[in-house]
Amino acid sequence: MDILSPTSLDEVRDIIRNCLSDETSLSLRGAGTKSSLGNPVVADAQMQLSGMSGIITYEPEELILVARAGTELTEIEALLEAHNQMLSFEPFHPEILYGGTSSGTIGGMVGAGLSGPRRIASGGVRDYLLGFNAVSGRGDIFQSGSRVMKNVTGYDLSKLMAGSFGTLAIMDEITIKVLPAPETSVSLVVSCSDLASAQAACSQAFASAHEPTAACILPRDIAANVNLGGDAFAAIIRLEGVEVSVANRLTEMQNLLGPIGELHSLTQELSANLWRQVRDAAFFNETHEQIWKLSVAPTACVGIVNKIKTSIDASYFMDWAGGLIWLAGAGERLGADIRDVMASNGGGHATLMRASDDRRQNISVFQPQAPALMSLHTRIRRAFDPKQLLNPGRMGA
Amino acid sequence: MSVPAADQDILARRSEIAKGLKSIIPNHLVIDDDSSMRAFDADGLSAYRQMPLLVVLPETTEQVAAILKWCQTEQVKVVPRGAGTSLSGGATPLGDGILLGLGKFNKILEVDYDNRCVVAQPGVTNLGITHEVQDDGFYYAPDPSSQIACSIGGNVAENSGGVHCLKYGLTTNNLLGIEMVTMDGEILRIGGKHLDAGDLDVLGVMTGSEGLLGVVTEVTVRILRKPATQRAMLVGFDTVQEAGTAVSSVIAAGIIPAGMEMMDGPAINAAEDFAAAGYPRDADALLIIELDGPEVEVDALLERVEAIMKSEGATSIRVSTSEEERNQFWAGRKSAFPAVGRISPDYLCMDGTIPRKALPEMLTRMAGMSQKYGLRVANVFHAGDGNLHPLILFDANAPGEWERAEAFGADILRNCVALGGVLTGEHGVGIEKRDLMGEMFSEDDLKQQQRVKCAFDPDHLLNPGKVFPVLHRCAELGRLHVHKGQMPHPELPRF
């Protein structure tokens, strides 16, 4: 297969115009870390984007960073850390789920739109992508958004790019809003007798004025594996910020959640390690045939998981106070069953995060949308890529 | 700024169109007499007035769908309207289009504290959502200054902000789901109580689309627990430059206040005359910095911010010691517009955003422009996020002043773009900034945006004449020009 390795947006445009004339479809590749996420792509050639890399601008006082799409995520995270700043949405790192040693590129991060634990408190990738420039599947260079925090000029195409899996356009310069990193971080573990009380602990934490920045739920087996309490569900609440405030809020949170179950807190280091595991779904391993991610109303997770567990042998844990269910299992019916149960429990969407090509060929990796909405999505894709040249089929028609 | 010429065929069909609409929705929901329609002839950009062809006030989503579908079939234009508070002309009527008012969609449908969200109809006011949940200690964060009147559906259309979006984000960051109707009458549900929608982020592109892509008929928004403490600090400076540097220093110190506002000398004095908020009249720049959160945190951060202000040369510092005093600090800022209205017969409020570091340069340029156009300007800023609200003072009855004010405003926005900023931070493009879009976007940029429009509304029937300076037909936008054999880089390696 041809591999095209442009180094500039002009070269990308020229390639796309060539591809348009001979209808050559392209699979897009940054570091290739998430190439097995999404519906399998069959394309005539591959465009390798790692040649378009480098941090262009970083202005800590302006809270912005501009990097080219092929820049390694770890390079950006290291730079921010050196300035006590961060990508607030805690982007998913793919090594554990998909293998390899790279954490992927910033372009791949935006394309996949996968956000970590802080998503529920302060937004996801979509909320921090301020602007970009790109080449559409029409072979036109265009830009959208800006480098400032507050902008409503024209349609917010950044939102469409985040999570579009390279099906709309090929980005070059990506502008991201960054935030100061919290001075300190602790986690409170609440040992709960069942899933419902663990979820209730998370909801209570977020309904309080104590400003948690993350809340996850680990079932008995996983909680035991990571030494978080004996035979109990663990609801884990993270508190971050100025030291005196965190200490104060930890006490308040202990008072609030004490009635639900036994409490203990994690040191900064254990806490950081745990949230990385939650972010990357590190509790699952190679033996799991399929790994699913369900986005649901937080309180709905209890009914959904309990229902699924009655008929399926599945392993699971939750992030986002219960609103994000990670679920691992096996079998041809698993996906359909998950989506059925979800639909009858308030709805949401389920994505098949990891499975063999074969399996992904036979089920829609992304949540099927209602027909009218599906048709709108197709029209939007065609508005950017009328000949379906870019990552054809990876995400819907 | 011109409003597109009305389609004479549509005007001639007016009574037939009224009859057609009355055949699909109850008669009393179709308003066709001039005196009743008068209430809808302008939005917050009241310099532009235009009687709509007809007004329809549907009560259900199904009625909205039926109206849009009928208008699509009959090729009649539609302008959606929430509370009509847009400052950019987002809801300015079209003479040959029906005005679709969503005022009857005024109910809160569900409050869900466990999932921290409220489901509401789009005509509910922004503040109405907070009122519904405040007794239980919650609130809805985005707080545009028109929040007492503006509708939540309009907030979605405009991606409204406010003084607290530095920390809490704009509408787009606080919206979880919508029900919407497209021009062809399809009812779509996107998102809900869960996060993200699992395919392209249509919710994201709908937010801030200024009523051009669809009509929102229900929203699900995130509510937050009210912070335990809120305190504000008033800081005076001798120069706006020093105040601007002080703002950057706070951010550089890793502190994101809930709000960080700046006013210049003319704005300080106008506000003080009007509200007696206790502002230092001798200061050339005033910062209002609000911190919120747990009491110990607010105390700790206030100390740090105060130290920064002192080292940046503050001439006066006052910290609110009671809720009453905090509200008093804000009273001046929040009444800045009416206050300026007292010192000038008319004013034009602009809304650009610039990188914070460009603030001193922008103010220098603004002083020059003020001289050039011979008009005074008072400045209030959301300084934390670089969003400027220059108020250009003029007298509409003085010959030529309105034109000069408009030219001055356009010049300010051009300078915002030149300094790395944007035309509008929160008020929207509408008709007001439509003809300036070319300052920020290339023809290709605008065409790509319009192709998105075509995916939703291929006949350009929904709110046409807004946002885009030139309307290209969708068939033309969809055409592909394939330049085989004429590539600029035919030698490009393919290996």
Inform me whether the pLDDT recorded for B485 exceeds 50.
Answer: no
Interface mutation target, options B196, B231, B245, chain A, most CBs of A under 10 Å: B196
Q: How far is B81 from chain A (nearest CA, A)?
A: 18
**Interchain CB contact of A395 with B (< 8 Å):** yes
Which of A143, A179, A297 is nearest residue B194 as measured by Cβ atoms? A297
**Interchain CB contact of A138 with B (< 8 Å):** yes
Query: What is the overall mean pLDDT for chain A?
Result: 96
Provide mean pLDDT across the span B147-159: 96
Confidence of residue B1 (pLDDT cuts 50, 70, 90): low
Q: Fold match between B229-337 and B344-428?
A: yes
Which of B182, B489, B495 is nearest residue A376 as measured by Cβ atoms? B182
Query: What's the rounded Cα separation, in Å, for the pair B123 and A226?
Result: 49
Q: Look at B486 and A382; give whichever has higher pLDDT.
A: A382
Inform me whether the pLDDT recorded for B484 exceeds 80.
Answer: no
For the domain made up of B229-337, the CATH class stated in words is alpha beta
For the domain made up of B8-101, the CATH class stated in words is alpha beta
Confidence of residue B366 (pLDDT cuts 50, 70, 90): very high
CA quadruple A388, A389, A394, A397: dihedral, nearest 10: 0
Query: Is the CB of B114 less than 8 angstroms away from the CB of A203?
Result: yes
The CATH topology of domain A184-280 is Alpha-Beta Plaits (3.30.70)
Inform me whether the pLDDT recorded for B486 exceeds 60.
Answer: no
pLDDT at residue number A311:
86
pLDDT at residue number A287:
86
CATH architecture of B344-428: 2-Layer Sandwich (3.30)
**Interchain CB contact of A144 with B (< 8 Å):** yes
Query: Is the CB of A162 less than 8 angstroms away from the CB of B484?
Result: no
Q: How far is A287 from chain B (nearest CA, A)?
A: 26
Confidence of residue B483 (pLDDT cuts 50, 70, 90): low
Query: What is the overall mean pLDDT for chain B?
Result: 94
pLDDT at residue number B306:
98
pLDDT at residue number B406:
94
Query: What's the rounded Cα separation, in Å, for the pair A381 and B452?
Result: 9
**Interchain CB contact of A156 with B (< 8 Å):** yes
pLDDT tens readout for residues A185-220: 999 999 999 999 999 999 999 999 999 999 999 999
Query: What's the rounded Cα separation, in Å, for the pair A324 and A306?
Result: 15
Structure tokens, B222: 């995130």
**Interchain CB contact of A142 with B (< 8 Å):** yes
pLDDT at residue number A73:
98
Interface mutation target, options B156, B178, B184, B194, chain A, most CBs of A under 10 Å: B194
Residues 333-352 of chain A whose Cβ lies under 8 A from any Cβ of chain B: 346-351
Confidence of residue A364 (pLDDT cuts 50, 70, 90): very high
Q: How far is B300 from chain A (nearest CA, A)?
A: 8
pLDDT at residue number B97:
97
Residues above pLDDT 90, as percent of chain B: 88
User: Which residues are CB-contacts of A283 (< 8 A; sequence separation ≥ 6)?
Assistant: A218, A222, A225, A226, A277, A315, A317, A326
CATH architecture of B108-225: 2-Layer Sandwich (3.30)
Confidence of residue B334 (pLDDT cuts 50, 70, 90): confident
**Interchain CB contact of A163 with B (< 8 Å):** yes
Query: What's the rounded Cα separation, in Å, for the pair A372 and B188?
Result: 7
pLDDT at residue number B494:
43
Provide mean pLDDT across the span B191-197: 92
Nearest CA in chain B to A138: B480
Provide mean pLDDT across the span B76-103: 96
pLDDT tens readout for residues A44-69: 999 999 999 999 999 999 999 999 99
**Interchain CB contact of A364 with B (< 8 Å):** no
Query: What's the rounded Cα separation, in Å, for the pair A163 and A113?
Result: 4
Query: What's the rounded Cα separation, in Å, for the pair B7 and B465?
Result: 13
Nearest CA in chain B to A369: B199
pLDDT tens readout for residues B258-282: 999 999 999 999 999 999 999 999 9
**Interchain CB contact of A104 with B (< 8 Å):** no
pLDDT tens readout for residues B161-180: 988 999 999 999 999 999 99
pLDDT at residue number B481:
74
pLDDT at residue number A390:
98
Query: Is the CB of B294 less than 8 angstroms away from the CB of A211?
Result: yes
Inform me whether the pLDDT recorded for B488 exceeds 90.
Answer: no
**Interchain CB contact of A150 with B (< 8 Å):** yes
Query: Is the CB of A369 less than 8 angstroms away from the CB of B198?
Result: yes
Inform me whether the pLDDT recorded for A86 exceeds 70.
Answer: yes
Inform me whether the pLDDT recorded for A366 exceeds 70.
Answer: yes
CATH 3.30.465.10 fits A1-181+370-397, yes or no: yes
pLDDT at residue number B3:
64
Task: Please state the φ and ψ torsions of residue B151, each to the nearest 5 degrees.
Answer: -95, 155
SS (H, E, C) chain B: CCCCCCCHHHHHCHHHHHHHHHCCCCHHHEECCHHHHHHHCCCCCCCCCCCCCEEECCCCHHHHHHHHHHHHHHCCEEEEECCCCCCCCCCCCCCCEEEEECCCCCCEEEEECCCCEEEECCCCEHHHHHHHHHHHCEECCCCCCCCCCCEHHHHHHHCCCCCCHHHHCCHHHCEEEEEEECCCCCEEEEECCCCCCCCCCHHHHHCCCCCCCCEEEEEEEECEECCCEEEEEEEEECCHHHHHHHHHHHHHCCCCCCEEEEEEHHHHHHHHHHHCCCCCCCCCEEEEEEEEECHHHHHHHHHHHHHHHHHCCCCEEEECCCHHHHHHHHHHHHCHHHHHHHHCCEEEECCCECCHHHHHHHHHHHHHHHHHHCCCEEEEEEHHHCEEEEEEEECCCCCCHHHHHHHHHHHHHHHHHHCCCECCCCCCCCCCCHHHHHHHCCHHHHHHHHHHHHHHCCCCCECCCCCCCCCCCHHHHHCCCCCCCCCCCCCCCCC
**Interchain CB contact of A84 with B (< 8 Å):** yes
Residues above pLDDT 90, as percent of chain A: 94
pLDDT tens readout for residues B26-45: 999 999 999 999 999 999 98
Size of interface A-B (CB pairs under 8 A): 309
Q: Fold match between A184-280 and A290-366?
A: yes
Reported ipTM: 0.97
pLDDT tens readout for residues A8-47: 999 999 999 999 999 999 999 999 999 999 999 999 999 9
Query: Is the CB of B188 less than 8 angstroms away from the CB of A373?
Result: yes
Structure tokens, A118: 């802080």
Provide mean pLDDT across the span B201-212: 98
Residue B145 has, within 13 A of its CA and on its CB side, a CA count of 20
pLDDT tens readout for residues A97-115: 999 999 999 999 999 999 9
**Interchain CB contact of A18 with B (< 8 Å):** yes
Nearest CA in chain B to A321: B115
pLDDT at residue number B495:
41
pLDDT tens readout for residues B57-83: 999 999 999 999 999 999 999 999 999
pLDDT at residue number B33:
94
Which long-range contacts does A218-222 make (Cβ < 8 Å, 24+ apart)?
A218/A283, A218/A317, A219/A195, A219/A316, A219/A317, A221/A315, A222/A283, A222/A315, A222/A317
Name the residue ranges covered by the structural domains of chain B.
8-101, 108-225, 229-337, 344-428
Which of A4, A158, A245 is nearest residue B296 as measured by Cβ atoms? A245
Q: How far is A126 from chain B (nearest CA, A)?
A: 8
Name the residue ranges covered by the structural domains of chain A.
1-181+370-397, 184-280, 290-366
Nearest CA in chain A to B456: A376
Q: Which CATH superfamily is domain A290-366 in?
A: ACT domain (3.30.70.260)
Confidence of residue B492 (pLDDT cuts 50, 70, 90): very low
pLDDT at residue number A230:
74
pLDDT tens readout for residues A301-320: 999 999 999 988 899 999 99
Residues 20-79 of chain A whose Cβ lies under 8 A from any Cβ of chain B: 20-22, 45, 59-63
Confidence of residue B360 (pLDDT cuts 50, 70, 90): confident
Interface mutation target, options A110, A122, A148, chain B, most CBs of B under 10 Å: A148
Q: How far is A151 from chain B (nearest CA, A)?
A: 4
Residues above pLDDT 70, as percent of chain A: 100
Which of A22, A242, A379 is nearest residue B301 as measured by Cβ atoms? A242
Structure tokens, A389: 């040249």
